[in-house]
Amino acid sequence: MMQLLSVEGAKEGLTLHQLEEAISTDLLVSLKEAVLTLFGPSVSAILLFRLGELLGVKESRKLVMPDSSIQSQLTKIFSSIRYGRVSLVLFNPYEIEGKVCVKNLIDRDGSAMVNGDGGGVGCYFYKGLIKGVISTVVRSNIAVYEIKCSLKGSPYCEYYFCRR
């Protein structure tokens, strides 16, 4: 059963961005659990990857700044995302490659693991989100690989991306 957050029940001092993040991730967790129940982990990972990619494209189109550098655009877009804490930590503009760190707020204790380079279904959502954002900003097809996973013992998830 999905729990709804109320503004009155929110802790004092929460910023609007933090409140939007909490609501967005709770909705994604509920969606993930429903899809997992219906289809299992592998199909759920595919569906959430695609959802992440679509949301990444949408967020990028809203915030694209043609006069700014690619790195500044990516930094701004990732910092405004409300589906977890996403940050660009390394970017090579010449090779169009880099790393993105994510505090995975979708996969929680007891999350189903998925075969592949990701850990949980939420990892695939973030993988798609990163692909959508970067592909839109650089206008090129991008490959994204998870190289660290919070479900596999790392303190955060880390993704490497490069041009295909």
Domain boundaries, the chain: 16-163
pLDDT tens digits along 64-115: 888 899 999 999 999 988 888 899 999 999 999 999 999 887 876 666 667 6
Which pLDDT belongs to residue 83? 81
Measured in whole angstroms, the distance separating CA 104 from the mean position of its chain's CA atoms is: 8
- Is the pLDDT score of 131 beyond 80? yes
**25-43: buried (b, 16+ CB within 10 Å) or exposed (e) per residue?**
bbebbebbbebbeeeebee
pLDDT tens digits along 113-125: 676 666 788 889 9
Q: Model pTM?
A: 0.85
102 SS3 class: strand
Q: Domain 16-163 classified CATH 3.30.360.10?
A: no
